[in-house]
Homo-oligomer: A and B are copies of this chain.
Amino acid sequence: MDFAPDTTTRETCDRVRAFLTEEVLPAEPVLDDELAATPDDWSFRPVVRRLQTAARERGLWNLFLPPDSPAGDRGAGLTNLQYAPVAELTGYSPRLAPVATNCAAPDTGNAELLAHFGTPEQRERWLDPLLDGTLRSAFCMTEPDVASSDATNIATSIVRDGDDYVITGRKWFATGAMNPGCGLLVVMGRTDPDGPRHRQQSIVLVPRDTPGVTVVRGLTVLGYDDRDHGGHAEIRFDGARVPAANLLGGEGEGFAMAQARLGPGRIHHCMRALGTAERAMDLVRERATRRTAFGGPLADQGVVREWLAGARVEIEALRLLVLKTAWLMDTVGTKAAMTEIQAIKIAVPRAVGQILDRAVQLFGAAGLSGDHPLAELFAGVRALRLADGPDEVHLASLGRAEARRRAPYLAPRNRTPGTAAPTPLEGDPT
């Protein structure tokens, strides 16, 4: 066991840190100005394009693609374990840094889907431009009318009709889909309503300009429309028709592919959330040192110190858990790491949410206002507790697994990574 990051990680982090300091943080107010100047525009603003060019020149592009991905040659060659600290750093400026490095959801997840399950034609048509940053995409899973956290509730139908699939249904919270540059909708629906629970679903690739597809409107999240990165769209599919070749993977594989897709995505979300927490810590530290009330700087008040300490402990512990999860994904695979993935999905957004909540409290009204980054960070992390299903679903699932765990703590074990898969979350000290 060794907690020292390797040279690649250290060097990449150094470069990302420099990029953040020299380019991204100064660009934040520019983005605000550009957004204010064109309120009805949902496309990327010039500053985003400028940052993307800069990132590319610095070799900070497609960092999320692991070397063993089928499209690994298009990435920077970072393993999940190496990428995790990088993703954390981009969470320090979550509106700009991920997109600047072409590492933003949902494009990353969609790219991985295409890389793993796409046909050569599908990859050429959609994966290449995604990795070039010339195409954006959306993932259409959540539906307004059912509890979509139970994937078997998905109601959108995908019906084979001759050489086509015909899609009918209503999706929402399709992040990025309001962006005019979003050309691809990755749509999950039911092809076989009578099949086994987790074999009813399929995924089809739907060009956004397909007849029968209506991008109805952008939804808000706690008052934010997130138009800087394409918002969250409601989309209607009224018998939209795509060629059968647009099926991703096979029929009935939708659920399994979505699960595979969400695994790394959750790691990325969690790592970025920790970077956001560090941003809050820096903001609070700076404010608490400078502001005085009731006879001294806020930083001298016991309650402020107590929460700084508590936040620090949580960040440190959860960061290690995310890193270990990334390491498991690299060594034993996403599926074997699923329990840890659930664990961080439960714990990180909650903890970071509380850190942001208390940061807001310390900033007073300013902390909730548009003048200050905290409010939007708060809203973003609050939404994270619901993205890919509410924590409670993962908590229930993890609890069931824990209740059924058979391997007693003291049982002999054999888990040399590489030779035998470690039982995830076995909870044993070796």
Contact = CB atoms under 8 A, between A and B. Distances in A.
Contact of A305 (B362, B391, B400, B411): B400
Nearest to A387: B365
A132 interface: no
Contacts of A347: 313-314, 317
Interface stretch (A102-110, A205-213, A377-385): A377-385
Interface string A79-107: 00100111011001000000000000000
Nearest to A147: B293
Given A147-B291, A305-B400, A427 B323 contact: no
A386 interface: yes
A264 to B, nearest CB: 17
A79 to B, nearest CB: 10
A3 B1 contact: yes
Given A153-B293, A321-B316, A391-B361, A370 B412 contact: no
A399 B306 contact: yes
Nearest to A347: B313
Interface string A3-42: 1111001100110011011000100000000000000000
Name the interface size band of chain A: 35 or more
A312 to B, nearest CB: 5
B5 A2 contact: no
Given A223-B379, A281-B427, 17 more contacts: A3-B327, A3-B328, A5-B430, A17-B412, A84-B429, A85-B429, A92-B410, A223-B375, A302-B302, A302-B399, A303-B392, A306-B396, A308-B399, A308-B403, A312-B343, A313-B398, A320-B321
9 contacts: A5-B430, A84-B429, A222-B375, A302-B302, A302-B396, A307-B399, A312-B425, A320-B321, A360-B386
